[in-house]
Amino acid sequence: MNRLQYETSPYLRQHQDNPVDWYPWGEEALAKAKAEDKPILLSIGYAACHWCHVMAHESFEDAETAAMMNDLFVNIKVDREERPDIDDLYMQATLIFTQGHGGWPMTVFLTPDGKPFHAGTYFPPTPRYGMPSFRQIMGAAHQAYAQHREELEASAHQISQLLNQAFEVNPAGEELDATLLRTAAFKLIADTDPIYGGLHRGQPKFPSPMNLDFLLRYHTTAPDERFINAVSFTLEKMAQGGIYDQIGGGFHRYSVDNRWLVPHFEKMLYDNAQLARVYLHAYQLTGNAFFADVTRDILTYVEREMLDACGGFYSTQDADSEGEEGKFYVWSATEIREVLKGHLSEAEIKAYLDCYDITTDGNFEGHNIPNRPEALDTVAARHHVTPEQLDSIAKTARPLLFTHREQRIKPGLDDKMLAAWNGMMLAAYAEAARVLDDTHYQAIAERNAAFILSELSTADGRLYRTHKRTSHEHGESKLTAYLEDYANVMDGLLELYQTTFDTRWFSEAQRLANYTLAHFRAEAGFYDTSDEHETLIARPRSLQDNATPAGNTLIASCLLKLAAYTGHAVYEEAALSVYGQISHAMREYPSAFGVALAGVHLLTQRPVEVAIIGKRNDAQAVLDVVRKPFHPRVIVALAESDQDAESTPPLLAYRTQREGRPTVYVCQNFACATPVTTAAEVQSLLDEV
């Protein structure tokens, strides 16, 4: 085995028995490259990446290819989920070399000091698809390094300068106002697919939870049926498609077609965390119980498949099982018939197969991906049953099919636990707990928060990036956390505070915010790495959302909430320094800035501060008015007794109970309404803001 056997990343350990002399990223590998004057072959991927597996099997497991790699290069393997800084840095380089075509696996050739001189993604073992073979690429890279060293180093230096320039963002100087939000919102729905849903009509299709959520938030202050209809229709179509696991729950990564049928089959924790909240918010806005059911279904899936006994959440489930992508999830009509026989009548089985698009020929490469392309009432009428009866048939079939499917060989599990992704799921469970009145969700959230603040935290209170269980009782945490880790954990803790009103969670969120201000600040906004982090050839700073929220823009939203809770202007000023850099970009390219737009919505429409003094049980009626509908600008605090100047959070300072009843203080923009004591009065005040 090579050195990857000592790593905790499941992705790196997938390569521990390659004949390649792999190193993890670190001083040992970099020092070897300098000492031997060898270029570095950097390979970046992740555990659930299908084409990473393909290239590993074709090239990294091949003895002759490995021998060439070992002879010509120092070979470094990186898990992009563990090291988003390295991934972001060299992805930017790859985009330069490939004229905008990035992806994973990522293959980058570096000088011994880490400067890139060539890059690409997947390379086949023999020339095909119009691409040279991996060995040809390696030979050309080595020849260039050996015979054209001076030109190569000059080019690598130039690329490094471009990378540094790419991370320098200057304020755009445009107004952060209602016009920006309106322009962005209409651009987002301009190409909505009227047949299959989605914010664009082509393929592949990604769920885009951040943009959907911004549209829901924008709709609360600019009611226009076009916004809510676009989001609702998209959410319905996604949850009825093959991108959603109709048997086991949870969303796959994205759909390769335009109708949400054929997914890229991996399941990512971050997708399901974000989508659980979007469906929850849609339920709050529309009252459509289907959206609440999807939220519950996602959270049930995550608890079953992705929750460790220590309270942390795993990262991903692979797309592949038994060497085939999607094999675990697809069915034949015959197999489904056999499972349901004896539990449903022949007529009911036919209705089920029709409802879920299951045919003899299949809907995907001779197999079937269960999905619901037609409305229940349409299928029900065809089979002379009511929609309620068809729904009952589906509910009978689902656990039977699930139990049968569980006997198959499951896809691989990446069981490392990342701080950022755990923060996302913490927020989802915490918010769902209070909206859906589910104490079980609250217990999961509280346990997860305790896990983050113990196992994913250093002795002096900083965060680690990753944790991996090494035995039943022990685990290993490692790597300095990134801005996105702090931002997502803060977001989760603030949501948990608003569910439990346990001041520990608020205090920890504020402490992490203060650490971030001290160690991540740039001239404007934030770097992705702290000033205590390893020095790379450039210090990354990302402002655009990708599959996960940009750390800069999410932390800006958290800081706006902290400013409202505390009255400390430093938090809002830091948030403004983020938005000021991207105001023009938000207007021109809103699809890359969903989280930023949601933050600007909070900034321009102003937070609504609700402070409640009174026993929690006695205050339930007013809490329901505040928390059950979708009020994205509302932050709420509660204390069970009168407060003085030392209250936590400071929003509660000097608040007192009136007439022995729970008393509610509603404030916005430095002005407070007269305290009220009834749910109806609270509702009236919220209707006015």
Write out the residue range of the structural domain in which residue 536 sits: 176-196+520-595
Strand partners of residue 71: none
Q: Are residues 34 and 131 in the same domain?
A: yes
Q: Are residues 27 and 156 in the same domain?
A: yes
Is 143 inside a domain boundary?
Answer: yes
Is 376 inside a domain boundary?
Answer: no
Q: Are residues 15 and 151 in the same domain?
A: yes
Flag whether pLDDT at 370 surpasses 80: yes
Say what the pLDDT of residue 171 is: 67
Q: What is the pLDDT of residues 98-147, one digit of tens each?
A: 988 899 999 999 999 999 999 999 999 999 878 899 999 999 999 999 99
pTM: 0.96
Q: Are residues 14 and 161 in the same domain?
A: yes
Q: Are residues 539 and 660 in the same domain?
A: no
Cα separation, 360 vs 373, whole angstroms: 17
Flag whether pLDDT at 670 surpasses 90: no
Q: Are residues 615 and 562 in the same domain?
A: no
Say what the pLDDT of residue 385 is: 97
Q: Are residues 588 and 650 in the same domain?
A: no
Q: Which residue among 595, 626, 641 closes a domain? A: 595
Flag whether pLDDT at 563 surpasses 70: yes
Residue 280: band (very low, low, confident or very high) from pLDDT cuts 50, 70, 90 = very high
What is the CATH number for 139?
3.40.30.10
Cα separation, 2 vs 159, whole angstroms: 31
Q: Mean of the pLDDT values across residues 158-182?
A: 86
Residue 619: band (very low, low, confident or very high) from pLDDT cuts 50, 70, 90 = very high
626 closest CA partner among 618, 636, 617: 636
Say what the pLDDT of residue 683 is: 96
Strand partners of residue 562: none
Say what the pLDDT of residue 168 is: 80
Q: Are residues 570 and 684 in the same domain?
A: no
Paired tokens of 649 = 């959070």
Is 34 inside a domain boundary?
Answer: yes
Q: Which residue among 595, 616, 635 closes a domain? A: 595
User: Which conformational region is residue 454 in: left (phi greater than 0), alpha (psi within -120 to 50 degrees), or beta?
Assistant: alpha
Q: Are residues 616 and 554 in the same domain?
A: no
Q: Are residues 548 and 669 in the same domain?
A: no
Say what the pLDDT of residue 48 is: 87
Say what the pLDDT of residue 470 is: 85
Is 547 inside a domain boundary?
Answer: yes
Cα separation, 42 vs 540, whole angstroms: 18
Q: Give Cα separations from 42 to 33, 45, 88, 633 (angstroms).
A: 12, 10, 13, 44
How far is C-alpha 521 from the geometric centre of its chain's CA atoms?
23
Is 154 inside a domain boundary?
Answer: yes
Is 358 inside a domain boundary?
Answer: no
- Say whether 119 sits in a helix, a strand or coil: strand
Say what the pLDDT of residue 250 is: 98
| Long-range pairs of 95-100 with CB within 8 A, sequence gap ≥ 24 | 96/159, 96/162, 97/159
Is 352 inside a domain boundary?
Answer: no
Q: Mean of the pLDDT values across residues 38-44?
A: 98
Q: What is the pLDDT of residues 237-270, one digit of tens each?
A: 999 999 999 999 999 999 999 999 999 999 999 9
Say what the pLDDT of residue 173 is: 67
Q: Mean of the pLDDT values across residues 485-514?
A: 98
Q: Which residue among 166, 185, 212 closes a domain? A: 166
Cα separation, 656 vs 658, whole angstroms: 7
Is 569 inside a domain boundary?
Answer: yes
Total domains present in the chain: 3
